[in-house]
């Protein structure tokens, strides 16, 4: 147990570093983050969106993890068995790239090492650097259950991947097919969409005449930017609604240079208004043409080799030519035959390899796919029917749209780092049968071919898309499908489904949607239920904001416009960074962020710190109250009852905002309560008793009550600012080693203590004080100058009750004498004001410049008259009186008379000065 209760004298300025290190170590060492199935409690679970092992903490993580930690900590303090499961993602491409780049510095490629050696290198790298981000999350204060930390390439998670692959294959949902990938003709490898850099380029668009078969001298004219791919043309397409060409559909055209007939088909994909409205379809060399080809069952003719040179499917003249050389020759040949209608300038964006800048070639190759339609349907339903709720809700539309237009998922990747596809092929020997050509899909490495018995097997070279492991994350973290063998069966039952997913909207398709599908598909095998509500991976999804810089640009590494989170934590403190980002995070809106904004959080931390210092200093002076003070309402004065009322309504508001995931509102509510209600008013008010002539036991009771409220407020704040609240919480009472604020309960809002009358009465006192301060300010009366206050109260307001609060007035407005006068009387020379209909005078006697006061009153009278005129106009408006509801009219009339009275009183004061 760190030395917390030993020293009660706190530094004047809160310094975060030491406190943070101390308490985080303490929490972790004592297992306070750890959760275990507990039948007496309800589970609350979050799985972390596993950061890439190549990643370092950026502002998006700060936001995302501050949110998750706040949610988990709130639930933990509300009596849930709260579990936040952390881990990392192996990030196939990113990680492989990092290691390859390192190799490149040694002048080597992965091919020099070979697959096994290369993978060893990656694992080494992972061991050395892959945990960086996990350590950084600790600095933020994340209360993750580190005993449960997982990695998507852990053996158990890899098992889950193979299991799912096999099951889907057996269900007929995984198949092998052709697909267009981004191919780099220089590196001879497929690269992912993310690795393609697109840029605008000035090029040409060629209009080529394809002779129509059967009608001489008539042509189909197609527009293309890539004439060299024409040898792979499989059709010409027009829009089915395009009347110009309706008569051609079903006919054929002659492919020039190749001398081959191709059909003319109709497809919605064609934009009738672009070009001629006729498109050549080249399924093997264009992604869109590929899909058109699928729909119309067209042949896929790949006319390039791996280096994008024309292959044997092209006329002999072109074979072996580079794609660009072939383009020139083909255009020249077409021109010679009079088959070029025209050539226009055309700007289009082309993709280049991020590594070698070679223009990417859409390339047809063999890939593995998951059929998505059957998986998507139930996943769409659970979001539409509210079994899973999105915050903000509008993302459900985006989700729906994607799910309804879903395409099959290409899951194979031409990489080495990742889960190798669990498929083997029989290389065969003399005994091979026809069946031997089938892929052998297996959970474990097969020893021999099941058909011919040959041991000569070769595993598929490719690995699986990284998302193929992450979509299982909510249950693979519990060692599914081997949970029984690993003793995790109870965990899976208890913690699944998870409750809240906190993630970025840009991965709604990659990750969120697929997790829903996986949960619904595989859930029944471990939940034992077909109820979607039991199988969904999470109940709520919170989509985070985008963090932008002060110019509105998205914060990113490449722009270099993001502050370094660890520097922020060092400079402002983790609590301040957390508070600031959560205070700024509106649900569904971006965050405009800059380092200086953390002053908000830092100043707040310091404010709380000093409030704690104040309480502790006073407790040390008065000594501990003999027994723990109880809120016996009879013995509380106005300030006590008021702060209690405010505390409970604050708690109520926070709980409501939390339910709606309005974390910025939560932050603002606790901030306003702490700073304004507690510090500005309550603490200042109790000073009048602490520094007065009260007996010691009264002072003790006052401090004790103040500490109780402080304790409650610390608990409300702890999930957002965990460190400073723990430090103070440990100081304000004697705690045992196993006590921690993070496992203390948040007090439930007691609505009986929310007292409207008390708040009204306090409002009156506060308004009187503010009014006096206002006069002081405007009249330039020094704050130190003592004044007397004369009040003329209406019968409803009891003078002797106000007299009770004289201490407050003295303390907060430097009123040294309070007296009352009856109706009709009036101090001779005084500044005056009306507060809630009651008249207030400050006799001036050399304090006030008469003309100043007159001008001040005049200004106020004019302002009130302005409002009054508005009310009168409204009440004189016939249609208002006729159509507005009675209550509204009554209210207006009431306001009218109040204003008239107040103005009259001020007017009299004004005249008295003249």
By CB under 7 A, residue 605 contacts RNA? yes
What is the Cα gyration radius of the chain?
38
DSSP labels for 356-386?
Answer: T-PBPEEEEEEEEEE--HHHHHHHHHHHHTT
CB of 713 to RNA, least distance (A): 12
By CB under 7 A, residue 401 contacts RNA? yes
The single residue among 176, 668, 797, 854 that binds RNA, judged by CB under 7 A, is 668
Complex with RNA: residue 524 or 586, whichever CB lies closer: 586
**Binding segment for RNA among 12-20, 258-266, 534-542, 648-656 (CB under 7 A)?**
12-20
Binding track over 687-716 against RNA, x by CB under 7 A: x---x-------------------------
Name 833's bridge partners. 840
**Binding segment for RNA among 78-86, 159-167, 606-614, 692-700 (CB under 7 A)?**
606-614
Report the greatest alpha carbon distance in the chain. 122
By CB under 7 A, residue 614 contacts RNA? yes
By CB under 7 A, residue 334 contacts RNA? no
By CB under 7 A, residue 658 contacts RNA? no
How many CA atoms lie less than 13 Å away from 392 in the CB half-sphere?
10
Residues 117/127, Cβ–Cβ less than 8 Å:
no
By CB under 7 A, residue 619 contacts RNA? no
Give SS3 for 836.
coil
By CB under 7 A, residue 818 contacts RNA? no
By CB under 7 A, residue 876 contacts RNA? no
Site for RNA in 412-441 (CB under 7 A): none
**Binding segment for RNA among 560-568, 715-723, 766-774, 840-848 (CB under 7 A)?**
766-774
By CB under 7 A, residue 613 contacts RNA? yes
The single residue among 181, 191, 270, 303 that binds RNA, judged by CB under 7 A, is 270
By CB under 7 A, residue 240 contacts RNA? no
The single residue among 220, 258, 279, 298 that binds RNA, judged by CB under 7 A, is 279
**Binding segment for RNA among 7-15, 180-188, 520-528, 712-720 (CB under 7 A)?**
7-15
Complex with RNA: residue 59 or 449, whichever CB lies closer: 59
CB of 619 to RNA, least distance (A): 12
CA–CA dist 187, 353 (Å, integer)? 9
DSSP labels for 459-509?
Answer: E-S-EE-THHHHTTHHHHTTTTTSTTTTT-HHHHHHH-S-SEEEE-GGGII
By CB under 7 A, residue 408 contacts RNA? no
Helix ranges (DSSP H) in 190-257: none
Site for RNA in 198-237 (CB under 7 A): 198, 205, 222-226, 237
**Binding segment for RNA among 21-29, 258-266, 515-523, 872-880 (CB under 7 A)?**
872-880
Name 307's Cβ contacts closer than 8 Å, sequence gap at least 6: 185, 186, 188
The single residue among 60, 141, 505, 565 that binds RNA, judged by CB under 7 A, is 505
CB of 566 to RNA, least distance (A): 18
The single residue among 645, 899, 905, 906 that binds RNA, judged by CB under 7 A, is 899
The single residue among 348, 529, 745, 816 that binds RNA, judged by CB under 7 A, is 348
Q: Which long-range contacts (CB under 8 A, 24 or more apart) does 550-555 make?
A: 550/592, 550/593, 550/594, 552/592, 555/58, 555/59, 555/60, 555/593
CA–CA dist 734, 511 (Å, integer)? 47
> Vertex 225, ends 224 and 228: CA angle to 5°?
90
Per the listing, tokens 């998870």 go with 498
By CB under 7 A, residue 342 contacts RNA? no
Site for RNA in 74-113 (CB under 7 A): none
The single residue among 123, 146, 631, 880 that binds RNA, judged by CB under 7 A, is 880
CB of 812 to RNA, least distance (A): 8
- Token digits for 651? 């708690």
Residues 80/44, Cβ–Cβ less than 8 Å:
yes
CA–CA dist 173, 368 (Å, integer)? 10
By CB under 7 A, residue 782 contacts RNA? yes
Residues 790/820, Cβ–Cβ less than 8 Å:
yes
Of 714, 705, 583, nearest in space to 644 by CA:
705
By CB under 7 A, residue 621 contacts RNA? no
By CB under 7 A, residue 665 contacts RNA? yes
**Binding segment for RNA among 346-354, 534-542, 642-650, 720-728 (CB under 7 A)?**
346-354
Q: What secondary structure letter does DSSP report for 281?
A: E
CB of 682 to RNA, least distance (A): 9
- Token digits for 310? 């024309």
Sign of the dihedral through C-alpha 904, 909, 910, 914: positive
By CB under 7 A, residue 600 contacts RNA? yes
**Residue count, binding to RNA (CB under 7 A):** 93
**Calculated CA dihedral for residues 784, 785, 786, 787, nearest 10 degrees:** -130
**Binding segment for RNA among 253-261, 583-591, 786-794, 817-825 (CB under 7 A)?**
583-591
Site for RNA in 287-306 (CB under 7 A): 287-288
By CB under 7 A, residue 546 contacts RNA? yes
By CB under 7 A, residue 778 contacts RNA? yes
The single residue among 445, 632, 876, 879 that binds RNA, judged by CB under 7 A, is 879
Residues 419/469, Cβ–Cβ less than 8 Å:
yes
Burial of 29 (0-12, 13-18, 19+ CB in 10 A): exposed
By CB under 7 A, residue 877 contacts RNA? yes
By CB under 7 A, residue 902 contacts RNA? yes
The single residue among 387, 606, 649, 667 that binds RNA, judged by CB under 7 A, is 606
Give SS3 for 11.
coil
By CB under 7 A, residue 862 contacts RNA? no
The single residue among 149, 408, 590, 759 that binds RNA, judged by CB under 7 A, is 590
Complex with RNA: residue 509 or 747, whichever CB lies closer: 509
The single residue among 263, 378, 446, 586 that binds RNA, judged by CB under 7 A, is 586
The single residue among 265, 724, 861, 871 that binds RNA, judged by CB under 7 A, is 871
> How far is C-alpha 618 from the chain's CA centre?
42
The per-type count for the chain, helices as H runs and strands as E runs, is 31, 29
The single residue among 176, 773, 797, 826 that binds RNA, judged by CB under 7 A, is 773
CB of 292 to RNA, least distance (A): 10
Complex with RNA: residue 146 or 509, whichever CB lies closer: 509
Name 427's Cβ contacts closer than 8 Å, sequence gap at least 6: 454, 456, 457, 458
By CB under 7 A, residue 680 contacts RNA? yes
CA–CA dist 671, 154 (Å, integer)? 43
Name 547's bridge partners. 591
The single residue among 249, 325, 341, 398 that binds RNA, judged by CB under 7 A, is 398
CB of 420 to RNA, least distance (A): 28
CA–CA dist 142, 140 (Å, integer)? 6
**Binding segment for RNA among 9-17, 62-70, 294-302, 641-649 (CB under 7 A)?**
9-17
Per-residue three-class SS string for 84-106: EECEEECCHHHHHHHHHHHHHHC
Name 252's Cβ contacts closer than 8 Å, sequence gap at least 6: 212, 213, 214, 261, 262, 263, 264
**Binding segment for RNA among 90-98, 302-310, 444-452, 772-780 (CB under 7 A)?**
772-780
């Amino acid at each position: 147990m760190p030395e917390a209760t030993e020293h009660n004298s706190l530094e004047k300025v809160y310094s975060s570093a030491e406190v943070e290190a101390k308490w985080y170590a303490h929490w972790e060492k004592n297992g306070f983050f750890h959760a275990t199935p507990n039948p007496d409690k309800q589970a609350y679970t979050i799985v972390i969106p596993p950061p890439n092992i190549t990643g370092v903490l950026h502002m998006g993580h700060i936001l995302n993890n501050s949110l998750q930690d706040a949610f988990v900590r709130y639930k933990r303090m509300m009596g849930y068995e709260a579990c936040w499961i952390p881990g990392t993602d192996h990030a196939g491409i990113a990680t492989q790239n990092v290691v390859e780049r390192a190799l490149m510095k040694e002048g080597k490629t992965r091919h020099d090492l070979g697959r096994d050696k290369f993978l060893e290198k990656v694992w080494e790298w992972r061991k050395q650097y892959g945990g960086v981000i996990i350590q950084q999350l600790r600095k933020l204060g994340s209360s993750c259950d580190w005993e449960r930390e997982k990695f998507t390439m852990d053996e158990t998670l890899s098992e889950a991947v193979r299991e799912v692959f096999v099951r889907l294959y057996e269900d007929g949902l995984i198949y092998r097919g052709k697909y267009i990938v981004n191919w780099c003709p220089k590196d001879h490898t497929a690269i992912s969409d993310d690795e393609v850099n697109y840029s605008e380029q000035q090029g040409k668009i060629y209009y080529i005449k394809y002779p129509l078969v059967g009608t001489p001298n008539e042509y189909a004219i197609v527009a293309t930017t890539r004439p060299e791919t024409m040898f792979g043309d499989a059709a010409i397409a027009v829009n089915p609604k395009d009347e110009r060409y309706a008569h051609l559909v079903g006919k054929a055209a002659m492919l020039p240079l190749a001398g081959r007939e191709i059909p003319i088909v109709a497809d919605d994909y064609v934009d009738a208004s672009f070009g001629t409205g006729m498109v050549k379809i080249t399924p093997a060399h264009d992604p869109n043409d590929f899909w058109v080809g699928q729909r119309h069952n067209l042949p896929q003719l790949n006319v390039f080799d791996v280096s994008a040179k024309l292959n044997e499917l092209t006329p002999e003249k072109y074979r072996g030519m580079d794609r660009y050389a072939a383009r020139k020759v083909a255009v020249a040949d077409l021109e010679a035959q009079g088959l070029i209608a025209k050539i226009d300038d055309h700007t289009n964006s082309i993709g280049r390899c991020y590594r070698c800048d070679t223009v990417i070639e859409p390339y047809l190759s063999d890939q593995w796919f998951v059929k998505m339609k059957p998986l998507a349907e139930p996943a769409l339903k659970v979001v539409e029917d509210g079994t899973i709720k999105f915050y903000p809700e509008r993302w459900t539309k985006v989700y729906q749209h994607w799910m309804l237009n879903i395409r099959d998922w290409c899951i194979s990747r031409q990489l080495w780092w990742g889960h190798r596809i669990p498929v083997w092929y029989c290389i065969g020997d003399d005994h091979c049968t026809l069946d031997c050509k089938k892929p052998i899909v297996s959970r474990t490495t097969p020893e021999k071919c099941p058909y011919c018995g040959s041991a000569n097997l070769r595993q598929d070279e490719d690995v699986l898309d990284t998302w193929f492991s992450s979509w299982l994350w909510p249950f693979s973290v519990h060692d599914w499908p081997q949970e029984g063998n690993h003793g995790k069966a109870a965990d899976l039952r208890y913690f699944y489904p998870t409750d809240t997913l906190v993630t970025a909207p840009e991965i709604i398709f990659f990750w969120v949607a697929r997790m829903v599908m996986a949960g619904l598909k595989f859930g029944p095998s471990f939940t034992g239920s077909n109820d979607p509500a039991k199988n969904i991976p999470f109940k709520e999804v919170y989509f985070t904001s985008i963090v932008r810089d002060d110019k509105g640009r998205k914060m990113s590494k490449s722009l270099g416009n993001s502050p370094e989170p660890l520097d922020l934590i060092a400079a402002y403190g983790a609590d301040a960074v957390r508070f600031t980002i959560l205070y700024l995070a509106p649900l569904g809106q971006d965050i405009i962020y800059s380092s200086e904004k953390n002053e908000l959080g830092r100043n707040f931390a310091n404010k709380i710190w000093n409030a704690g210092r104040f309480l502790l200093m006073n407790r040390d002076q008065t000594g501990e109250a003999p027994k723990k003070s109880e809120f016996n309402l009879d013995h509380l004065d106005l300030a006590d009852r008021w702060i209690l009322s405010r505390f409970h309504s604050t708690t109520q508001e926070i709980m409501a905002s939390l339910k709606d995931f309005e974390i910025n509102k939560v932050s603002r509510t606790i901030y306003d309560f702490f700073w304004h209600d507690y510090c500005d008013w309550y603490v200042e008010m109790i000073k009048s008793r602490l520094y007065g002539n009260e007996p010691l036991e009264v002072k003790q009771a006052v401090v004790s009550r103040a500490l109780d409220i402080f304790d409650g407020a610390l608990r409300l704040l702890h999930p957002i600012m965990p460190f400073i609240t723990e430090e103070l919480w440990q100081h304000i009472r004697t705690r045992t080693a196993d006590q921690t604020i993070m496992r203390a309960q948040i007090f439930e809002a007691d609505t009986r203590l929310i007292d409207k009358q008390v708040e009204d009465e306090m409002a009156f006192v506060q308004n009187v004080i503010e009014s006096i301060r206002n006069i002081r300010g405007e009249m330039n009366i020094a704050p130190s100058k003592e004044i007397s206050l004369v009040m003329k109260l209406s019968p409803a307001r009891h003078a002797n009750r106000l007299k009770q609060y004289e201490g407050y007035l003295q303390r907060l407005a430097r009123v040294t004498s309070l007296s009352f006068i009856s109706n009709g009387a009036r101090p001779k020379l005084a500044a005056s004001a009306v507060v809630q209909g009651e008249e207030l005078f400050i006799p001036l006697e050399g304090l006030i410049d008469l003309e100043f006061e007159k001008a001040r009153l005049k200004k106020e009278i004019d302002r009130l008259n302005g409002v009054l005129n508005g009310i009168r106009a409204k009440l004189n408006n016939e249609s208002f009186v006729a159509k507005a509801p009675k209550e509204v009219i009554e209210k207006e009339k009431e306001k009218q008379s109040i204003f008239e009275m107040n103005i009259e009183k001020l007017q009299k004061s004004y005249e008295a000065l003249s």
